[in-house]
Structure 1
Amino acid sequence: MDLKIYKDKQEVANAFSSYFESLVKGKDIFHVALSGGSTPKVIFDILAENYSTKIDWNKIHFYWGDERCVPPTDDQSNYKMTVEHLFSKIDVPTGNIHRVLGENDPSAEAMRYANLLEINLDRVDDIPQFDLVVLGMGDDGHTASIFPHEINLWDAEDHCVVATHPESGQKRVSLNGKVINRAKEVAFLVTGAGKAEKVLSVLEKTEGFEAYPASLVQPETGKLIWFLDTDAASMINQDPA
């Protein structure tokens, strides 16, 4: 595991953007699963502004680690946020964008998306393999859309699962843990003081850490990198990068 700590969300976004460019460089094709949230929004802005001509977007295929079951025009849609902050500002083929159809029946869509991954990605032991999975972590320790109350979904047989938000009851389509841990690389983006307690628990395995889905992120390649700001890292003993 590689731990990177930066001053603030902006520095996290700059560092991740540089890391992303280096991963893509030299690849003929690159499959990435994106995350939603406020930190990716800043990253997408930086990628659009500073990397629109530095990265060959034709070879990158975009997917989502999870998506809310809402139409693509809904403000809660991770896809809509990515369009507004990245896709609308770079030259990427529409055929390279593989969105979760949040407006469709959740169970049927989870099955369709799982099939899409099987078709588009190389498989290792029958599990689709991304080049990179980008994850966030919630204040409750959830990641993708695997929440603590449904942690059993992590080991579900299906590559994609239907999850339920514990408070709103909103349905979401999410990758399962097997697909996440099969990725060649996994990157956590975690910022804000509200995440500090769970960051400490997951990284230092304090009592009860097993209840947090984020603690189950252990890619088989061993390539796991955490991008944290000082607020999120405030309870662990590390120096900024």
Structure 2
Amino acid sequence: MEKKEGGELRLFDSSEELSSGLADFVLQVAESAVKERGSFSLVLSGGDIPNRLGKLTKAPFLRVVDWSKWYVFWAEEKVVAKRHPDSLYWQAKECFISNVPLPPAHVICVSHGVAGESAANSYEFSIRQQLKNRTVQVSPSTDCPRFDLVLLSLGPQGHVASLYPNHSVLHEESQWVSCVSNDSKRESVTLTLPVINAAANVAIVASGMDLARPFMDAMVSRKPIGSHPAQMVSPQDGKLVWFVDAPAASLFLRGNEL
């Protein structure tokens, strides 16, 4: 465990150990939030995050968690049908949500079967309702929601959520949720950086050899602003923790040995 300028770094020998470490961290943050405020707000994203949450559906997590206090949100969602294989809600449902006793009303998902802009607007409205209900706190320094924990996966382009390099959404300051298109022109709904950076805790997962270069760049590169979105994740009044396995950390560790 190391402290870096870009956040705390937790290294694991294998992807399996990373999943266990991430599950422990989620439980720790959840218990603290429930003890402090009576609820826990968890924000999920794509990549391998849904699969890794499968750890929480097994012992000892399943029986020690007070699931009635959990509220689940999304950092991103593809503009597809609810049961589409690319739907992040559906992936999380298959791996996690359907295997734990979460109250259905506590799963705040992005609307499916509607246009991207409509989905973004209605999702932002849903988040604002949760602030009114005090399920989610308001950030002390901005009017953004202060989620207890945002889970992100580092992408091969250095992106997180659906925040891609050099996209105009990286400079969005007023909207909490935006509809974006990536290189394939497929639309996604994503939380914006002000919301992510207002969270109490943000965890970014990097796993596998194909993430070695993006992770190395996130840690040490000083690329032009916007060309590596993960470098723009910097919680204002919160904590950033990287969960990285040995293959993803290989270039970074090799560089530190030189």
TM-score over 0.5 for the pair: yes
In structure 2, stretches of 5+ residues that fail to align are 1-6, 131-135
1:215 partnered with 2:225: no
Distance of 1:217 and 1:82 partners within structure 2: 23
Structure 1 unmatched runs, 5+:
none
Q: How many residues align?
A: 236
TM-score, structure 2 length as denominator?
A: 0.87
SS in 2 for 1:237: helix
Paired residue for 2:91?
81
Paired residues of 1:201 and 1:209 also in contact (CA < 8 A): no
Aligned-partner SS, 1:53: helix
Q: Deviations over 1:157-210 (max 9, x none)?
A: 2100111121x2110000000000000010001101111111111111344575
Shift of 1:237: 2.3
Matched with 1:204 is: 220
Asked if 1:195 is matched to 2:236, the reply is: no
Distance 2:146 2:89 in 1: 21
Q: Is the 8 A contact 1:202 1:209 kept in 2?
A: no
3-state SS of the aligned residue for 1:52? helix
Residues of 1 paired with 2:149 and 2:45: CA distance? 11
1:67 partner SS: strand
71-80 or 206-215: which moved more? Answer: 206-215
Q: 1:139 maps to which residue?
A: 156
**Structure 1 231/211 Cα, relative in aligned 2: closer, same or farther at 3 Å?**
same
For residue 62 of structure 2, give the secondary structure of its aligned residue in structure 1: coil
Q: TM-score, normalised by structure 1?
A: 0.93
Q: Does 2:123 match 1:123?
A: no
Q: Which residue of 1 aligns with 2:13?
A: 7
Deviations 1:8-54 (A, max 9, x none): 2111110000111111114110111101222x233222111121111
The match for 1:96 among 102, 106, 130 is 106
TM-superposed deviation, 1:222: 4.4
CA distance in 2, matches of 1:113, 1:102: 10
Identity of aligned residues (%): 25
